[in-house]
Structure 1
Amino acid sequence: MIVLAQVSDTHIDLGERNTERTRRVAAYLDAIPGRIDAVVVSGDIADHGAVAEYELARQLLPSRHPVYLMPGNHDSRDALRRVLLGSEGTGPINQIHQVGELTLLLVDSSVPGQSWGALTDETYAWLADALAAGSGPVMVFLHHPPVRLFSPLVDPIRLVGDEQFADLLAGSGRVVGVACGHAHTPATTVFAGVPLVIGPSVASILAPQWETRECPMVDYTSPPALAFHVVDDTGRLTTHFRTVSKRFTENAFDPALAPRS
């Protein structure tokens, strides 16, 4: 099986709050005794796209596992490329990573200067070629959800052009799941005939429409959260969600401290 950790929407802004929350999640991942095959950071790494924010992110992100990064609407492609990827270039940051038998396709849905997401013609061509290049299972990551989530803040700035995206994924026969961020809430649904998982945010939680009258639309009090995606040998995707409280310590995984059942 392949185990992926998805971290999303850290919104590192040089302030202590989001710095501490990102550091806490990274420490949790680095302390896990079992194997994690890769960590995917699904966008909005920085809050303002500043070089200093990416320099801090480089210090904060997990160090024990391979980490793959992609941009969100708050990110700067140029700064992310230079500081975190060590590369130059223009246009979308689309990436292919092989993790065992699983191919990860990191699709850049960011639109410079905009909060909503879209895929360029260049990205569609790249994605079509990547899906046609092999026969093994594929998991697709992007920042913007391609479906309505009944979130007053997120739905107006989700991915546009989702029908073309869905047709491309459904036609490949290789995609076992799609994961994204942006919504600041864990959620699951189906897209293009496969599971769609929305990873939670490290920075905050956004309330869906049925909570907004009685609850704050943005919840800054809940602990940071992340997702674990497991792709088994049959291609089945299973996702677990975890929150990381302030009480977490590296000793949390000590079998000697485990509660008796």
Structure 2
Amino acid sequence: MLVIAHLSDIHIGGSDRSVERADAVMRYLDALPYDLDAVLVSGDIADHGLAEEYEQARKLLTSRHPVLVCPGNHDVREEFRRVLLGEPAASGPVNRVHRTDAAVYVVCDSSIPGQDAGDLDDETLAWLDGVLAGERDLPVLMAFHHPPVTLHSAVDTIMLERPERLADLLAGHPGVTAVLVGHAHTAAATTFAGRPLLVAPGVVSTLRLPWEGATTLAGCADYALPPGLVFHVLDDDGRITTHHRVVPV
């Protein structure tokens, strides 16, 4: 059995409380009496993609647990790489593989520079196909920012474009156990390409849903609700269970 903490959309620099909320979540995770296999932060690390935002995020996301990150639509690849990852600045997609003793995490870049919607471009899909072809022994968890299916939320207007390309690719790689995303600022669970699709809640805010009175992105963010996260538990037989938590600030 392995346990993963999954959070998303910390948006450092996006509000006065963004740092406080992210810090509360990370302190909660560090205080757990259990060693997590990973802490996954699925995008929108910074709000404006500025170096100083990533510098603050780098300090906040330091943990006794392994921390994995991917870019979102608010992130800027060059500064994300240079400041947050300590790598040379480059404009190509930020795609990475992380291996632990229990699982393989394939973390992809679904951002389109300068746009809010997402896409897994040809370079990323070719890279992903090659990585998945070589993984046979451990369960594989795939992560990126933009949901590839309709969530009945205001973010449906800026979701992952061309999701059928990813679905076709995953059809040839049955070892992918689940797909983990963010972007929606609300926890959700559905399916994609025959796999669980698990959406992390937002840390900086929660987006109200249409039946809660929010039909467009403008003005639908609720900053009063506490930050949230989910724990994904993967059993030895490949079954995944998700638990939801909120963290007082």
Considering the TM-score relative to the shorter chain, is it more than 0.5? yes
Q: Is the 8 A contact 2:14 2:46 kept in 1?
A: no
Q: Does the CA-based 8 Å contact 2:208-2:214 persist in structure 1?
A: no
- Number of residues of Structure 1 aligned to a counterpart in Structure 2: 244
Distance in 2 (CA, whole Å) between partners of 1:234 and 1:130 is: 22
Aligned to 2:6: 6
Please point out which of 145, 148, 159 is paired with 2:147: 145
Give how far 1:218 is off: 1.6
Q: CA–CA distance in 1 between the matches of 2:14 and 2:174? A: 43
- Aligned twin of 1:24: 24
Counterparts of 1:131-142 in structure 2, within 5 Å, are: 131-135=132-136, 136-142=138-144
Q: For residue 175 of structure 1, what is the aligned residue in structure 2?
A: 176
SS at match of 2:229: strand
Q: Percent identity?
A: 53
Rg larger in structure = 1
| Cα displacement string for residues 65-93 of structure 1 (whole angstroms, at most 9, x for unaligned residues) | 11111100000111010111111133000
1:237 matches 2:240: yes
Equivalences for residues 1-261 of structure 1 within 5 A: 1-13=1-13, 15-88=15-88, 89-135=90-136, 136-152=138-154, 154-212=155-213, 217-246=220-249
Q: Is the 8 A contact 1:30 1:62 kept in 2?
A: no
In structure 2, list runs of 5 or more residues that go unmatched. none
Whole-angstrom distance in 1 between the partners of 2:191 and 2:244: 17
Which whole-Å CA distance do the structure 2 matches of 1:18 and 1:60 have between them?
11
TM-score (norm: length of structure 2): 0.94
Q: TM-score, with normalisation over the residues of structure 1?
A: 0.90
- Report runs of 4+ in structure 1 exceeding 6 Å deviation: none
Unaligned stretches of 5+ residues in structure 1: 247-261
2:73–2:116: 8 Å Cα contact kept in structure 1?
Answer: yes
For the residues of structure 2 that align with 1:59 and 1:226, how far apart are their CA atoms? 19
| C-alpha displacement of 1:137 | 1.5
Letter paired with 1:45: I
